[in-house]
Amino acid sequence: MNDSVSMGFDGVERDHVRPFLKELGFRKRALVFTRVRDGLTDVLSLQRSSGNSGGNVRFYVNCGVYSAEFAAVIGETVVERPREVDCQFRCRLDSLAPAAPQWFEITADTPAEPTGSAVVVALETAVPALGTIDTTDALADRIGGEARWPRIDDNLRSHVPAAKLPAVMSASNHG
């Protein structure tokens, strides 16, 4: 891979994405940024395309919201530092910021600076949108209709006190 293009990707992360997300309370591990808020974890990750070749780096911004409480209720192991793949709500950046492209690209002919600025502009829209996903109801709506609902209902029944069960089950619209 062209070293200047690879360095351009590193510069986008280091000079644009990292400072912007750090200011919003995100922590970084590798190319995964996480922020804990109200019992949920917001996750943003940069994913290089598997089809990159010399002189070209295409990358995606993956978004997610992880609920440890939801994971426990459905019987999954709770993860302290979730990755995007661990999240119950997952999407690409352009789902939260419709004006954003599906991916970003750095080539030998396209300097990294405009790409970094474009990523930050998209994140300015996406991060607040990610922050509106604030309840397990929103997560349940996003993944509703999946075949695992009977298992989730069984887990809810075993973890929720009997007095609260009717309210929880009616809120989920599955029981």
pLDDT digits (tens, 9 = 90+) for 85-140: 999 888 999 999 999 999 998 887 776 778 888 898 899 989 988 887 755 555 55
Domain range for 170: 144-175
Q: For 35-65, what is each residue's pLDDT tens digit? A: 998 889 999 999 998 877 777 888 999 999 9
Number of domains in the chain: 2
The answer on pLDDT for 141 being more than 70 is no
Give how far Cα 52 sits from Cα of 89, 94, 104, 157, Å. Answer: 27, 20, 12, 47
Residue 138's pLDDT is: 54
pLDDT attached to residue 170: 60
163 falls within a domain = yes
| Averaged pLDDT score across all residues of the chain | 81
Same domain membership, residue 149 and residue 118: no
Helix 165-172, helix 149-159: angle, nearest 10: 160
Higher-confidence residue: 29 or 50? 29
Predicted local distance difference test score (pLDDT) of residue 66: 92
Residue 8: pLDDT band by 50, 70, 90 thresholds?
Answer: confident
Domain-located, residue 169:
yes
- Short-list 47, 17, 46, 22, CA closest to 35: 22
pLDDT at position 174, please?
Answer: 45
Which element (helix H / strand E) includes 65?
Answer: strand 56-67
* 56-91 burial code (b ≥16 CB/10 A, e <16): bbbbbbbbbbbbbebbebbeeeeeeebbbebbbbbb
Same domain, 102 and 156: no
pLDDT for res 163? 78
Query: Does residue 40 belong to any structural domain of this protein?
Result: yes
Q: pTM for this one?
A: 0.74
| Same-domain status, 104 and 59 | yes
